[in-house]
Chain A
């Protein structure tokens, strides 16, 4: 019995002391989570509302280009906004509401419709974004950090950085006086007046400067730089940009060509536009008499594909060219030619310059393009010094279900000598495919 009592005593002693070893809750911070979150919300709220001259914002989108904004926030949760999406949005202020709430950090939500919502809108009719996804751009942004006069947020879903910089009184006045659209038009006019814009790189070679001022998801609001290397090959870089009232800000940090990080295009004086590098070096933009780089030199570098969207005949396409493309589109539902009917299709010419191949992809879908099948025909090619291409079938149509309606375009590629050139329609640059043997047949595509 004594032994049992001893064991019991030891067990109880162990339990008592072990119990005492339990750690009490010790806060890792000197404030509670809600205190810290409240503090951060207040920090963001105060920052946004106390900037007396408002904020200049730039935002890259997930699958589209970049966009610029000017915003002022008040304490009644209203935000006044200008944006570079349209001339009207750069001219007319739009008031909407916002709030800052706790989420994965302090969350800035543009919670009623405004210009920034257009990039988020999944209805194509709103601003041309993709159905369901829009431009893959957010309307709620998680606070990231403040640095100097800047406050940075990250899009909650699409993770794009939304950078706001405090405006000066002079900038505020210009935004509110309608000068934003004037500034945007000046940039556009410069490139219209200088269609073969280029800069001279540090190595003395010329680099073409090609902005796309359109708003298409695929190619709009981007700028590209491209140059020919000493070995005759081409290197190119492109990135998204947004207009501010002072410059074209290149997003995602920079557009980097041959090691130089270009961060913006801005006016050197009233008539001279220049690119500026991250080190502050200036590169004046001049105009070449002819395009600095022929389009065919840019395959595989600046551009990797020519794309024709569902039932879209782009400007510059001749009647004969449209017939060739429409043979594919108009027969997607032709059950005599195909084993199934499709409600969406597209065509794409993919360049493989290493192996000197061109692959024609015919995409077909029964759910509006969300998913589908690809039929591919691969050609090998030769190109002469004048940029005339001759294609030979490397592998015939394989995969998918639409070989029978790709025949017209396939026949065109196989039986014609072909050149490629630019086609510019207002603000949009397309790639044009022309038959040397039958010059009346021309087709334009989106350059990708």
Chain B
């Protein structure tokens, strides 16, 4: 072997030696995850219920054992009383998951629900002492606070449902992009410093809350949760009481955008979903603020129009007691003039205030031409708690319509007036079997104690 080859072999050997020497000893990573259980090992009836109801069915982990990691590190938050966990999660199930399941299907729910619900007993306060009922993070986790004051009262549950539906909308937006048109509706007035925007200012500019004015994403979630939880009547009232026409138009455009998004992007009937959530809040939580009596007393709805010849009544029925009075009065109008043969086009209830009612009959000659109106004046007394309404006749005024009404006084008195003043009535969203698209769009009154006797019609704002 020449020196040259020997030298080369030495170099080769040393190269291997140098490379080999760089190999570090095998290092065992520290693994303490097994010692750091996020949940206790208890296996109570509650744990079983949570597992079968949420984990097995939807892959949702419900965490009620306190773990500091799940809340903001600078806050002091207490764990829940165990006895509040199941009632709270039942409201989540019935007011959130089940409506989506029934409308959008179980697969949709399983694919999209947040994976963790973390429950706390106390409120969570930030540095400014502002208390939070719920928060969410990363599209994965929803934190619900204040369970130790759990109550099936509407305010408690709906505030949490509002958070959940709001956050779930964010999750949906992450999977199915929110419609671009929504961002443009009030694009010029979003402000990151939303806390400096008073509610009435936000309202004026077409937002459902100050928080919504932060950016389009929050705005979209706020509109969605408001429509679902606060309800259509609340939204209609919010639109109506916005002090600018532009704000009103913006709110309507946002509503429309949300409904279209659910239909086109998610293939979900938003109105059906809205009705499901609203029925839960109305019938189970007994929240008066989503009922017709509440908004009737608030005088949100200004008119209810009845035309028994309309297809509406052929489809959903027309109970005899009112129909008899209606048709009797219709006959009286027809009999007024054998030549003109006036036809009663509709009967309209004008709710002037929550104490004043005008019943208006519109009639037109058989040959057509001008439509005439006959107004009959009434007073109303509404029980604010039950909504039970008593109607009494008051003196007629001197308007043209009042003078027209004088043509049929006797016939009206013995028919419609007789029916209205000899009964008391309970308002409700009637008829009850309408499709979701009509929910809160029609309303009516049933005779107190005789719920099968009722009259109803499309509502006007």
Contacts and interface: CB of A to CB of B under 8 A. Distances in A.
B68 A112 contact: no
Contact of B25 (A25, A98, A131, A133): A25
16 contacts: A12-B15, A12-B18, A22-B24, A25-B24, A76-B41, A97-B42, A102-B35, A111-B67, A112-B64, A113-B121, A113-B148, A117-B78, A117-B79, A121-B78, A126-B148, A367-B129
Nearest to B4: A5
B125 A132 contact: yes
A105 to B, nearest CB: 11
Nearest to A98: B40
Interface in A361-413: 367-370
Contacts of A121: 78, 121-122, 148
A156 interface: yes
Contacts of A112: 64-66, 79-82
Contact of B32 (A19, A34, A132): A34
B18 to A, nearest CB: 4
A24 interface: yes
Chain B interface mostly:
loop
Given A16-B17, A131-B129, A132-B125, A34 B82 contact: no
A34 B31 CA distance: 6
Contacts of A148: none
Interface in B15-31: 15, 17-18, 20-22, 24-25, 27-28, 30-31
Contacts of B76: 120, 122, 132-134, 136, 157
B15 A131 contact: no
Given A16-B14, A123-B148, 17 more contacts: A22-B24, A25-B27, A32-B30, A34-B32, A38-B35, A77-B42, A97-B42, A99-B41, A101-B37, A110-B79, A111-B79, A122-B123, A123-B122, A123-B123, A133-B76, A136-B76, A367-B128
A33 B33 CA distance: 12
B7 interface: yes
A42 to B, nearest CB: 10
Interface of A: 5, 8-9, 12-13, 15-16, 19-20, 22, 24-25, 32-34, 37-38, 41, 76-78, 96-99, 101-103, 109-113, 117, 120-123, 125-126, 131-134, 136, 139-140, 156-157, 367-370
Contact of A370 (B65, B81, B128): B128
A2 to B, nearest CB: 9
Contacts of A8: 11
Interface of B: 7, 10-11, 14-15, 17-18, 20-22, 24-25, 27-28, 30-32, 34-37, 40-42, 64-68, 75-82, 121-125, 127-129, 146, 148-149
Contacts of B78: 113, 117, 120-123, 126, 134, 139
Contacts of B25: 24-25
Contacts of A136: 76
Contacts of B34: 34
A73 B33 CA distance: 24
A98 B39 CA distance: 10
A41 B18 contact: no
B386 to A, nearest CB: 31
Contacts of B15: 12
Nearest to A96: B82
Contacts of A19: 17-18, 20-22
Contacts of B42: 76-78, 97
Contacts of A9: 7, 10-11, 14
A5 B14 CA distance: 13
B21 A20 contact: yes
Given A15-B18, A25-B27, A126 B122 contact: yes
Contacts of A111: 40, 65-67, 79
Contacts of A33: 30, 32
Nearest to A370: B129
B79 to A, nearest CB: 5
Contacts of B149: 123, 125
Contact of B121 (A24, A41, A117): A117
A369 B149 CA distance: 24
A78 B22 CA distance: 52
Q: Which has the most chain A C-beta neighbours within 10 Å: B18, B41, B67?
A: B18
Nearest to B43: A76
A99 B129 contact: no
A77 B40 contact: yes
A368 B129 contact: yes
Which 10 pairs from chain A and chain B are nearest by CB? A19-B21, A132-B125, A102-B35, A111-B65, A24-B25, A111-B66, A12-B14, A16-B17, A113-B81, A16-B18
A98 B17 CA distance: 56
B354 to A, nearest CB: 33
Contacts of A99: 37, 40-41, 65
B32 A122 contact: no
A187 B426 CA distance: 62
Given A99-B37, A111-B79, A122 B122 contact: yes
A25 B122 CA distance: 47
A261 B78 CA distance: 35
A430 to B, nearest CB: 27
Contacts of A98: 40
Given A24-B25, A34-B31, A102-B35, A139 B66 contact: yes
Nearest to A19: B21
Contacts of A34: 30-32, 34-35
B317 to A, nearest CB: 51
Contacts of B64: 112
Given A12-B14, A113-B82, A120-B76, A140 B41 contact: no
Contacts of B11: 5, 8-9, 12
Contacts of B36: 101-103
Contact of B129 (A37, A109, A113, A132): A132
Q: Which has the most chain A C-beta neighbours within 10 Å: B76, B80, B82?
A: B76
Contacts of B65: 97, 99, 109, 111-112
